[in-house]
Amino acid sequence: MLAIIGGSGLTQLANLDISHREIVRTPYGEPSGPVTFGNICGQPAMFVARHGYGHTIPPHEVNYRANLWALWSKKATAIVSVASVGGIRGDLAPGDIVVPHQIIDYTWGRRSTFHEGDGCTVTHVDFTHPYDELLRNQILTAASMIGEEVRMGGVYAATQGPRLETAAEINRMERDGADLVGMTGMPEAVLARELDLPYAAINVVANYAAGRGESRDGIHFESIEDVLQNAMGRVRGIIEQLVAN
């Protein structure tokens, strides 16, 4: 069963025909909110809002371990993460939808493994390719079936937040090879890997990254709302087709 983790702009899935909600207990504490179960086009799916249903949990305080554990324990077989990002690469503009293929992790101090604590054996998961290739391609197929353009590939820079970046930090990330920047991609992706759950992301460019394009003099989130709303509608369509396939 496909699980969707929704980020800013996607706190619910309008096309999910809800059967029930469940508060899932985990050894890692509380998930961001109840898991919503239902059907999309007759196919079962589950959903959790990463920042809580009222959008109250900031990126650095999301209990990523509990969210992933909850979905895994409820028998999710794959995870699609939806999240907004800032565009670093010159050809990315607000409203663009990107399916990234790589990650650079700049976060710190987050609980980023299940393999710690009493009785755990030292475990090093392979993370060479952080996103599941098959799932990425399935997203691309779904998007093209409904005529939505998605940008395949991109290096996602995960920052700590909740503040936005400085222009110099964005320049450094670009030198590092990053194309887009967001605050929630890690440790979510690696926790999915530790649970052996195929994981891919659909990133919506909400704004030019700090110091770029219209964000040269600052990032103003008021203008981002409209872009996000429209793009998330398109993302819902892609997810609907993905589940139907």
Which residues would be at the binding site for ligand HPA (CB under 6 A)?
84-86, 159, 164-165, 181-183, 206-207, 209, 219
Give residues with Cβ within 8 angstroms of 173, minimum separation 6. 88, 104, 106, 157, 165, 181, 209
Ligand-binding site membership of 207 (annotated): yes
Name the residue nearer to ligand HPA (CB basis): 63 or 159.
159
Name the residue nearer to ligand HPA (CB basis): 32 or 207.
207
3-state secondary structure (DSSP) of residue 9? coil
Helix (H) or strand (E) run with residue 49 in it: strand 43-49
3-state secondary structure (DSSP) of residue 230? helix
Q: Provide, rounded to whole angstroms, the least separation between the CB of residue 170 and ligand HPA.
A: 8
Name the residue nearer to ligand HPA (CB basis): 135 or 209.
209
Ligand-binding site membership of 209 (annotated): yes
Give residues with Cβ within 8 angstroms of 10, minimum separation 6. 49, 82, 232, 235, 236
CA angle 155, 157, 160 (to 5 degrees): 165
Q: Provide, rounded to whole angstroms, the least separation between the CB of residue 208 and ligand HPA.
A: 8
Ligand-binding site membership of 50 (annotated): yes
3-state secondary structure (DSSP) of residue 69? helix
Ligand-binding site membership of 208 (annotated): yes
Ligand-binding site membership of 107 (annotated): no
Name the residue nearer to ligand HPA (CB basis): 126 or 217.
217
Binding residues for phosphate: 8, 50-51, 184
Annotated binding site for substrate: 183, 207-209
Enumerate the known binding-site residues: 8, 50-51, 183-184, 207-209
